[in-house]
Every structure is written in C-alpha cells, then in structure tokens.
Structure 1
Amino acid sequence: MAVGTQAANRGYDVIGDIHGCANTLIRLLEQMGYRKVNGVYQHTRRQAVFIGDIIDRGPRIREALHLVRDMVEHGSARIVMGNHEYNALGYCTRARPGSGKKWLREHNARHDRLIRETLDQFDAHPHEWNDFLEWFYTIPLFIDEDGFRVVHACWDGDLIEKFKQSQGGACIDEDFLHASAALDSFAGQVMDTLLRGTDLRLPEGMSITGSDGYVREFFRTKFWADEPETYADVVFQPDPLPEEVARRPLREHERAQLISYPLDAPPVFVGHYWMEGAPAPLKHNVACIDYSAVKYGKLVAYRMDGETVLSPDKFVWVDVERPEAPGYPGMEDSVAR
C-alpha cells in the first residue's frame, strides 16, 4: 500500500521519549488498543510513531528496544532517531586514524554516566547490542508526510532539504556519523540541530547550572516563536533563565540565528525537552510529547488523525509513579489516564 493511502486510512500515535521505561510503554500501548499478535504489539487501524530516545537512564532498556524494533520491523510502528541513539553510535564507534581521538564520542565522565545503564543492561548480551547499533543506522532522522512531520528536537526545513539532497533519504551512514563529529561541519549542524535543538549564547561571563548539574553557557530556544522580542519569548528548556536575563531584548544578530516554523506548515511533533504539567500543543501546529517519563513524569502519546489544528484532547498518557508510592511493585510502574 502506498504511503499516501496509508496516511489517508489509518491513524498515528506519536509516542514520547521512552528511556528504558518498557513497562510503562506496554501500559500506554494497551491503553490505546494495541495488542500482542505473534509476540508483536499491533493495532488494527493505527500505527505507533516513536520520537526516539528509547535507550539510556531507565530500568528496562533492552526490553524497550526489542519491543520497539519488533513493532517497526513488522510495520506496526515507525521511528525517528533520538540524540541518545546517535550518542550511542558515536560512543561505540572508533575514530579514524589521524583524528587525534580514540572514539567519535569521547569517553569522559559525563558521557560514561549517560550511557552506563544501557551498556550495563546489555553486558551479558554483547551481540544483541551490536545488532541494535547496526539497526540505529536504519532509523530516519525525520518523517515528512503530507499531513504531519516528526523529528526528535527541531524541524529546520532548510537543513532537512539539504540533507535529503546530500544523503538521498532520511538516514545517516557511517561516513556521515564520522563527519558529524566536527560540530561546525554540515553533518555536525544537522545532527546537533535536528536531535538537540537550537540555542543562543548567554550574555558574556554568564552561565547556568542545570538541574542535571551540567554548567552551560547557552540556553535552548524555540524553533516556532512568532515575532519574539526578548529571551523569555524564545527560551525552551526545563531550567528557567534568571529574571534579569529573561527580560533582555533580543539583538539583531541573535534574531538572525533563530529559525521559525511556518503557521501554514503541517503539524510537527518533537520530543527531547522534558516537559511538565498537562500535555497540550505548543502552538496550533507544534507539539512536544516528551513529558519526562523516566523522571516519574508521564509517558505521552498524541493520537493523530489528519487534523491540521492540534488539540489538547488528543493527548493520552500514563503517569509514572515514584518507587515510594503506596503499592509500588518495582523499579517502574504507571497509572493510566
């Protein structure tokens, strides 16, 4: 069946960052009417779309990867790459001779910590992990349909068009992975923007220590802000800017760095940003569906049925309970909503 026919006849359930919360994912799928058929979760009329970041941090990364890959390979799901899958490829790929590095992604304390849970859970299954690394190359960076779009962190139309022309599709190969290690290269810009988002540098001499303990001199920005005037109009991250910085007017060279998402463009879905509160669209054609599941937030889906204006009523989710909650049975649990 052609993609256009599929889009016309089936609904899509776009699912946020999983980060190893396999049990919660099962509850969300079952809440939405997916059932196991021959060991694979399927829906008679709908297809799941995973926003990436299946790995790292959570208690059941291996199980989550198997569940998701089985769905993708059997046609009951699609997926885009998250920055954590990309990071894993870099971390586990040796740099080429003469580069001055041993690995594409440096094995430092921060990077070791981010991938530790994943490597620990695959410690007894090294061949499986290598198979998953190969599978990551088959995951597209974006989905661009007539009626909707999906990317992990940021839809930059110009970069995506240039990428499609250079790569002939939506996936990277090992040469592109190596090229992306240089952040100022085209490949580096593609991976950093699409999988991590856009940012602006803080005023000279200022830095922010995030809730993760990491000190940053940049802050994440919206790619959909309409006619922004101040830093507060474009900031988009869990850690707020100091009030005096948030009020700061944008300068012309800062405005020039911002991108925008057209008001008449198809709805686009992103993850990545650790949202909190009641799930709702960011604007009529932009929605973030990452609501911090692995930090005991929500695992969220948006049930897309071809609408051009996104609705808060189309979000569904399960709440992830903290271990100290009454009746908590293990490392991960959830309550359907």
Structure 2
Amino acid sequence: MTSRNTTHQQRIAKSLSAILGCGHQEALRRVREAAAADRLPSPLNAQGRAAAVGLLAREATMATENRTTTTSPLPEPRTPARCVWPWSGASGLAPLAPGTVTSLVSLPTAGRSTLALNVALHNAMEGICALFTSGEITSRSLGQKILAARYGFDARSQEPPGGREAFKATALPELNAAPLLRHGARVGTSAPDSLRAGLVAAARKNRTLRLWIVDSVWHFSDFTDEGRDTASTMAELRTLAREHDLAVLVTSQVLTTDPQDPDEPVTAAHLPDGMASHSDRVLVLDRPGTERLRRGDTYPTAATLRSLSRPGFEVELELEPEHCRFVLA
C-alpha cells in the first residue's frame, strides 16, 4: 500500500469515526476492509473520499439495524412521486425534481429562511424525507419555528391549542414521526459533512432522503482574497444533488445597488458568484417595505415569490409572522 493511499484511508476513517461515533481504529478497520475488497471509489480525491465515507456510513447503519431487529425492516411509507411546494400554483416556479438545484434569494429580513423551512415542513408532513441544514438559525429557534408553522402558536409566549398535556399527547408524536431532519451546521462544517449526517439520520429512520434545504450558501463558502467562494459551493451542491438524486433548495441573501431604494428589483446581476450557472432555477422572494421599517411602522406581510429563470411566473403570498409561515394571498 502506498503512503498516499494510507493518507487517504486515514482521512476517510477520521470522517467516518465522527459520523458513527466509533473509535478511529474501528473506523480505520472498516476502511481497510473496504479497500481490500476493492469497494472504495476511485480516485480517492476529495469527492471520492466523501463518497467513500457516505458508503461506509450507510453500510454501518444498515448493519446496526439488522442486528437490533428480529423482523424484516418495514417498507418506506408511500410518498408523492416528487417534492412539492406548499402553495397551489407554485409548481411552475421550479419542479424540485431529483438531481436539481433551486436557489432562493431575497433582500435581508424578507423571510427566505422561513419560506425554506415551510417547504421542508410541508414535504415532511407529506411523507417526503427532508433535511434542513442551517447555519443561520439556532436549533432552539428552528424548533420553535417548526411548532409555530405547523400548529399555529408561538411556543415562546402562547399556550398550545388544547393545553400542554393534550399537545404533548397528540401533536408531538405526529411531529416526531414526520421525516423532517435538522442539522445545525457549525463554523467549518462542509456541505458534504452536513449531507452525510442527514443521510445517516435518514437511514436510521429507514427513509430515503429526497429534499435538502441549505440555509445558506454563504455559510459553506470559504473566504478568499476576493470574498466568499460561493461559486465552488454552488458547484459542490450541484454535484451532491446529482450523486444522491436529491432536490436541493439553497438560500442566499442578496443586496441591490442601493438597498434603500425599494423600487430597484433583484435581478441576476445581484446573485452570488456561481449561483446562476449552477442552479436549474433561481427564485426571488420580494417583500416590499422591510427595508424601511421603523419603530411603530406597520409590519409588511405581502410577498411575491417569482422566478428569475422564467420571467412572468410568480405566486402572491402573505406572511403570518406569528406563525412563521407564508400562505397564499
């Protein structure tokens, strides 16, 4: 074995150990067995190593499930043929098909993270396994937003419908059973690392991951002398979408030439580097008035979700801020 192959295997073992929670030597044993059986991808560049970690993690998860159950695994629940939008008429904006990347951009505070979470939650309640990866929202806040969006109350200040005991007995089991996976991406976490964590979590639930929300592209983009390298991140997300047959929805904040000018629309010229070229569709969430909010002003709730890729396709929405959800206007 060459020293180069040894180094690659050590790197794979390090990532595998972090995912499975096993010791480094046990992870390295698994890697060496796979190498001896010629089951590792070739070449073992960064992409090959990531694929190797995903393969070995899935095998380990399946082996664990087979050892801990005496019956055959339950079949995956019947689900819609593809991922769906929460609002009628929105399917023309972007298909959310397997292997595609859809980008969602907006000016600051327009509500793109909330809208992306609405998409993830809606699909999960339809039985489609969805992963919401966020470097923008804390895990606690994300849980509160999910409760508000699904059940219509603010967990921070309101009693749940029917009281807390009834809520715990009925609503929480429903939500826990829904295949909505969450991953709080820490600083330095790569997009493949986040996806691997989601794939392992989905396998443990006997689910196939089909939708991945990435909030946002900036969190996974490295700093360079020219700023954040969003082009490389977008290219990576496109590759991952195709390799794992996923519908990917990635968010990004954008700024117009004059952020204080409400009449300047977001266009392709305002997109992060690489977003237009590596996306199948690009959507813009417009919520006029947020840039002029002052104390005592009426909170603007009217919004439009429109396609930059297909001009003329748009859906009028209304934000219910207390419920963390967008509904049809």
TM-score above 0.5: no
Higher alpha-carbon Rg: 2
More RCO (CA 8 Å, sep 6+): 2
Question: Shorter chain as normaliser: what TM range?
Answer: under 0.3
TM-score, length basis structure 2: 0.27
TM-score, length basis structure 1: 0.27
